[in-house]
Amino acid sequence: MDTAIDVVLKLVAITVAFVVVLLVVAYTVLAERRILGFIQGRLGPNRVGYGGMLQPFADLLKFILKEDIVPDKSTRFIYFLAPVIATMAALMTMIVYPFGPRTGIPFTSITIPLVIAHFDVGLLYVLGITSVGVYGIALAGWSSNNKYSLMGGLRSSAQMISYELALGLSLIGVIMLAGTLDLAQIVELQSNWRGFHWFIFLQPLGFLIYLIAAIAETNRVPFDLPEAETELVAGFHTEYSAMKFALFFLAEYINMFTVSMLATTLFLGGWNVPFAESIFGRGTFLFGLVSAIGFLLKVIFFLFIYIWLRGTLPRFRFDQLMSFGWKFLLPLALLNIFITATLVYFSYNF
């Protein structure tokens, strides 16, 4: 009976998380179009619904009803598989992030941890799934039988695997400070000192490296040469139309969301809101609610930074991008590990 309740709770949690992710991503697309519009001195889409609020649904309807064109000479199985891999890899990382502390549901005595799956190697799991996400792009570029797609796909995947290294190495500083790979533990460890124990204050260099590597991982400006419209037509998704393109589009924005959630969990203290514990008390429903809303606000802050950068910065050329990743960011991440290790050693022993 217990396992049945567990399974039902997990299914409910997965459904809720899935719906929340899709809604946030849909409204991120809308927010990006409107905020980019304001940065560029124009209004974004504001006709459909009040201020454009129903625009994502109009877009979804358009994607579903569009004609699905499949190129004749493409390798069909891989052509259909590639967007599936991209979206699956983007969604699968969602399960390890802690959205809130252990809260009790009101009027019952059940306490649920607000995380879908509690691994003790949660951080490695995220890095692994991100590595598998490269395949969606490489296979999409190859299977479209189009030289622009192939170039875009190879460039994009080369960029992703290069910046994965800097991403992983920048997280080692956080792992050294926390002593664990478990994301829920890392969030718990950041709850002292009224918000000043967040790892962004203890690891500023690591945070900057992580942010830059994350923007390169998700193929966003200023690292979006492989899919810029003025460059290789549309890069690896040139030959994709209707729902498969929608899956790639969705995968990119879910990746953005995932990377922002990882940044929030590791550097901004996850669900820790500075004074909430003393006001509400641990384990109550209001504390859980406030923490979850705090988490969401921090993630939205990161998404805003992504959109802001898109409207402001020009893009890197591909060789500049690769040399920046290998010759600057990687040694800087190693320097960060060295400094953090030295300071942790001295703080333990003296």
Q: Which is nearer to another protein, 246 or 330 (CB)?
A: 330
Which residues contact another protein (rule: CB under 8 A)? 75, 77-78, 81, 119-121, 124-125, 127-132, 134-135, 138-139, 142, 150, 154, 157, 161, 180-181
Q: Which is nearer to another protein, 125 or 240 (CB)?
A: 125
Q: Which is nearer to another protein, 137 or 292 (CB)?
A: 137
Tell which phi-psi region holds residue 270, choosing left (phi > 0), alpha (psi between -120 and 50) or beta.
left
Angle in degrees, CA 23, 294, 249, rounded to 5: 30
Residue 150: alpha-carbon gap to chain centroid: 25
Tell the smallest beta-carbon distance from residue 129 to another protein (Å). Answer: 8
Tell the smallest beta-carbon distance from residue 161 to another protein (Å). Answer: 6
Count of all residues that appear for the chain in the document: 350
Tell the smallest beta-carbon distance from residue 154 to another protein (Å). Answer: 7
Q: Which is nearer to another protein, 95 or 150 (CB)?
A: 150
Tell the smallest beta-carbon distance from residue 43 to another protein (Å). Answer: 39
Give yes or no for a cis peptide into 101 (omega within 30° of 0). Answer: no
Tell the smallest beta-carbon distance from residue 128 to another protein (Å). Answer: 4
Q: Which is nearer to another protein, 124 or 205 (CB)?
A: 124
Q: Which is nearer to another protein, 16 or 132 (CB)?
A: 132
Tell the smallest beta-carbon distance from residue 220 to another protein (Å). Answer: 21
Tell the smallest beta-carbon distance from residue 331 to another protein (Å). Answer: 15
Q: Which is nearer to another protein, 29 or 92 (CB)?
A: 92
